[in-house]
Amino acid sequence: MILSSSIGKKLGMALTGLLLFGFLLAHLSGNFLLLKGDGGATFNAYSEFLVGHPLLIPVEFILLGIFLLHIVLAISVARDNRRARPVGYRVSASVGGRSVSSRTMIYSGLTTLIFVAVHLKTFKYADHAGDSLYGLVVTTFTSELYVGGYAVAMVLLGFHLWHAFQSAFQTLGLHARPRLRGLSIGLCILIAGGFAMIPLAIYLGK
Binding site for ligand HEM (CB under 6 A): 27, 31, 47, 50-51, 60, 112, 116, 119-120, 123-124, 133, 137, 150, 157, 195, 198-199
Minimum distance from residue 125 beta carbon to ligand HEM (Å): 8
Burial pattern 137-156, b for ≥16 Cβ within 10 A else e, equals: bbebbeeeebbeebeebbeb
C-beta of 8 vs 30, nearer to ligand HEM: 30
Minimum distance from residue 98 beta carbon to ligand HEM (Å): 25
C-beta of 49 vs 89, nearer to ligand HEM: 49
Burial pattern 66-105, b for ≥16 Cβ within 10 A else e, equals: bbebbeebbebbeeeeeeeeeeeeeeeeeeeeeeebeebb
Burial pattern 191-206, b for ≥16 Cβ within 10 A else e, equals: bbebbbebbeebbeee
Minimum distance from residue 63 beta carbon to ligand HEM (Å): 6
Minimum distance from residue 38 beta carbon to ligand HEM (Å): 16
C-beta of 47 vs 167, nearer to ligand HEM: 47
C-beta of 60 vs 80, nearer to ligand HEM: 60
Could you give the CA distance from residue 148 to residue 150 in angstroms, rounded to a whole number? 5
Minimum distance from residue 12 beta carbon to ligand HEM (Å): 19
C-beta of 12 vs 109, nearer to ligand HEM: 109
CB 70 within 8 A of CB 17: yes
CB 102 within 8 A of CB 162: no
